[in-house]
Amino acid sequence: MSLRTTLYHDLARQYFYAGQPDKQPTFGRLLLASFSPRFMPVVLFRLSHWFYQKRLSPLAKIVSLVNFVLFGLEIAVRCEIGPGLYFPHTQGTVIGALRIGTNATIYHNVTFGAREIDIGYNDTSRPVVGNNVIVGSGAKILGPVVLGDDVRVGANAVVLKDVAHGLTVVGIPAMPI
């Protein structure tokens, strides 16, 4: 999927949450939405990941740094995130997952990452997240866990074990409800 097509899907998701699901993404609307504090971080991440895929790692890291400085959002440039990404708020969010599926909604102060210091970004120590997942504010998803499709993670939950498709988990450690 091209960068532009992915951004159109991301913008359509923004429209959905804004109560305008029938509004169609266009190039002009994409440019205008890029100045929104809820959408610009997505655009910056998509650009940094695109640069990473094109083997332009220095540019990828610079764009990622801009995202961190402006929005407090730290996303590993190599993290694969499907279309439909939505951040209601970004401050304090760290995404060091291996992969996140389509239509992910990630609230602020969320952490996806390894349980130990992992400077080299070891794929076997990173979370893998399914499609249509919602992660509440302050949640932590740590280690080589798998969140299935349609999973909901409650605010401030700490996920240390795999979560099966369709479950909602809450608490420390996170348990299904």
Model confidence pLDDT, tens digit, residues 155-174: 999 999 999 999 999 999 99
C-alpha separations of 8 from 26, 55, 88, 145 in Å: 7, 24, 17, 30
Q: Does residue 28 have a pLDDT over 80?
A: yes
Q: Does residue 40 have a pLDDT over 90?
A: yes
Helices and strands counted in the chain (H then E): 4, 14
Cβ contacts of 69 within 8 Å, gap of 6 or more: none
Picking from 106, 102, 98, 100, the residue whose alpha carbon sits closest to that of residue 83 is 102
pLDDT bin (cut points 50, 70, 90) of residue 149 is very high
Residue 65, helix vs strand vs coil: helix
Cβ contacts of 31 within 8 Å, gap of 6 or more: none
What is the model's pTM? 0.89
For residues 86-103, give the mean pLDDT. Answer: 93
Domain count, the chain: 1
Domain range enclosing 156 = 3-176
Q: Domain holding 123: CATH number?
A: 2.160.10.10
> Residue 147: what pLDDT?
98
